[in-house]
Structure 1
Amino acid sequence: MALTGPAELLATWEAGLDRDAAGRALLLHRAARPETGTDALLAVPVGRRAADLFGLRRALFGERMQVRVECGGCAEAMEFDLDAAQFAAPAAGAAADGGAADGGVLRVADGGWVVDFRLPTVADLAAVSRALAGPGAAPGPPDPQQLLLARCTVSATRDGAPLPADELPGALPDTVRRLLAEAAERADPAAEITLSIACPECGEATPAELDIADHLWTELDAWARDVLLDVHLLATAYGWSEPEILALSPQRRRYYLELCADA
């Protein structure tokens, strides 16, 4: 993964200010894989993208991630540290082995059912979101998991007879659904990361989904505003341009700021 410089990171941050969460996630993914086109990034399985973003996070801000969660029982604010490497490694390993995390087809067979499916991609999630939120959505829209299943099914047969993908969600037994979910989780373990956090005050365990794109954007936003403040202070004190200030190492910038404060 190529390291992105401060000027490029600021450009990514600026471009994401007026975008929604999906647009920001795409910008971050492009920063993690600058050699990859937009269509290819949208075709990446969800867990593979998460692994890429965890890798970008480690490169930019280090291994230690600080996470804040509100207890579901007593509403106490909880803060704890996570190691970004432990979430990036499984999906990265699956992709390196050339498995389904890179777009292969998975098969589940049970009770006369044979279902071939692919892992959900970033584009699939965006399409499902549009289908549920669009003006043509029904008053009682189907479960997003059903829409996702219909999109990602390559083929499905019951006792040898083919079944159209759009009929699959309503016809599929719960046992086969469970097997599909388990197969997808094994192939793309970083697609959905849920933590269970025990509250130190009341002891209740609170489930918390870790959205690396949202977490990384929050960190990038804080970093960008700090860097722009540094630019403002140093430009005011020394008359340097933004590119000249960004070309300084963080350590050297900090030293000049300390000199300004002592003056």
Structure 2
Amino acid sequence: MQSFYVELLHGLDARRLVELREPTGNDQALFVDRGATPPVRCVSALIDSLVLRIGEHTPVPDELAQLTVGDRERLLLALCSRLLGAETDLVVTCPSCKNIVEVPIRFRDLVSAQPDTSDRRCVLAARDGSWAAEVTLPTGAVLERTLGLGQKSARRLLESCLTALFDAQGQAVAREALPEDCEAELAEKLLALDPLAECRIAVECPHCAASFETLLDGYALLKGAFGSSSALYGDVYRMARAYHWSEAEILALPLAKRAQYLAIAAATGEASG
């Protein structure tokens, strides 16, 4: 079984080196046939399926759900690199001149991003003075728990990251007491600790020289790399015609190996007609 490695930023219990197997057609089908399954759960299922080891240990059930949001994004971007190559172009629209801008992305640079701080204590400015907080980082499990709460999702996510909260008088209070005017500052603090949780790309427009930021969504990028349902099952059809293998056998192949077999079949005319 072919595999590759990714170094996480936080990992689990000081275990940061992750071994993943190469994605197969079954993993591709998970994305193209997801139906109404929310993206966060697709990502969780994919990580559960692909991760072979963290450190020297095979992860136990639910352990991978404790990976931080940024570490999950690292895994997605590493998978994108396996499928798209070391670099790709992100196509965005300049908010100033409305022209299309192609932004070159190097996956290695993104995956190696480091935090701006390691201090999990912070001071938050509120209308009644300075509040203090101690935080933990949001995980896949937290994302799934806050899923479906609508406008409350972001607020519940922030509250779940508070391990201690002190008001302007220094009194310990419940995390639900977090002032609304502290939410944005707390979100920035969490992002400084786990930068890929929201991957921001700085862009300078070559048309009007405007500078702006855009977000890179690992899920959307990976979904594009996996392609459409018609492309996947078109490959299955051609492989079945050429080699007389079952759908299950074809989908079990690593994507790179399937591409090799399809190229051979195309070169010999076996996959035509």
Q: How does 1:224-235 map to 2 (within 5 A)?
A: 225-235=230-240
Which residue identity is paired with 2:260? Q
Query: Does the alignment pair 1:207 with 2:225?
Result: no
Q: Please report how far the alpha carbon of residue 32 of structure 1 lies from its aligned counterpart in structure 2 after TM superposition.
A: 4.0
Which moves more between the two structures, 37-46 or 189-198? Answer: 37-46
Which residue identity is paired with 2:110? F
Q: How does 1:247-262 map to 2 (within 5 A)?
A: 250-260=259-269
Q: Please report how far the alpha carbon of residue 240 of structure 1 lies from its aligned counterpart in structure 2 after TM superposition.
A: 4.2
Q: Please report how far the alpha carbon of residue 182 of structure 1 lies from its aligned counterpart in structure 2 after TM superposition.
A: 4.9
- For residue 27 of structure 1, the aligned residue among 45, 61, 66 is 45
- For residue 47 of structure 1, the aligned residue among 48, 54, 70 is 70
Query: Does the alignment pair 1:198 with 2:204?
Result: yes
- For residue 236 of structure 1, the aligned residue among 229, 234, 241 is 241
Q: Deviations over 1:53-93 (max 9, x none)?
A: 122222343322332212223433333331111111136xx
- For residue 117 of structure 1, the aligned residue among 101, 124, 135 is 135
Counterpart contact for 2:91–2:103, Cα < 8 Å: yes
Partner of 1:108: 122
Which residue identity is paired with 2:41? G
Q: What stretches of structure 2 of length at least 5 have no aligned partner?
A: 1-18, 53-57
Query: Does the alignment pair 1:3 with 2:12?
Result: no
Q: Deviations over 1:7-50 (max 9, x none)?
A: 43244335524422222222333244255466333332211111
Partner of 2:107: 84
Counterpart contact for 2:158–2:187, Cα < 8 Å: no
Counterpart contact for 2:123–2:133, Cα < 8 Å: yes
Q: Please report how far the alpha carbon of residue 118 of structure 1 lies from its aligned counterpart in structure 2 after TM superposition.
A: 0.8
CA RMSD in angstroms, aligned pairs only = 3.5
Specify whether residues 58 and 32 from structure 1 end up closer, same or farther in structure 2 by C-alpha distance, changes over 3 A only: farther
- For residue 148 of structure 2, the aligned residue among 118, 130, 147 is 130
Query: Does the alignment pair 1:152 with 2:161?
Result: yes
Distance (Å, rounded) in 2 between the aligned partners of 1:45 and 1:4: 22
Partner of 2:171: 161
Q: Deviations over 1:71-122 (max 9, x none)?
A: 223433333331111111136xx7xxxx97xxxx822257774321111223
Query: Where is the strand percentage greater, Structure 1 or Structure 2?
Result: 2
Q: How does 1:88-99 map to 2 (within 5 A)?
A: 88-90=111-113
Distance (Å, rounded) in 1 between the aligned partners of 2:238 and 2:74: 36
Which residue identity is paired with 2:164? S
- For residue 216 of structure 1, the aligned residue among 216, 222, 236 is 222
SS in 2 for 1:69: strand
Distance (Å, rounded) in 1 between the aligned partners of 2:148 and 2:240: 45
Counterpart contact for 1:25–1:214, Cα < 8 Å: no
Counterpart contact for 2:29–2:232, Cα < 8 Å: no
Query: Where is the helix percentage greater, Structure 1 or Structure 2?
Result: 1
Counterpart contact for 1:73–1:204, Cα < 8 Å: yes
Q: How does 1:179-194 map to 2 (within 5 A)?
A: 180-194=186-200
Distance (Å, rounded) in 2 between the aligned partners of 1:151 and 1:57: 30
Partner of 1:137: none
Distance (Å, rounded) in 2 between the aligned partners of 1:262 and 1:109: 65
Q: Deviations over 1:196-252 (max 9, x none)?
A: 323333443443211111211221134x65453233224334544442694855334
SS in 2 for 1:162: coil
Distance (Å, rounded) in 2 between the aligned partners of 1:151 and 1:254: 50
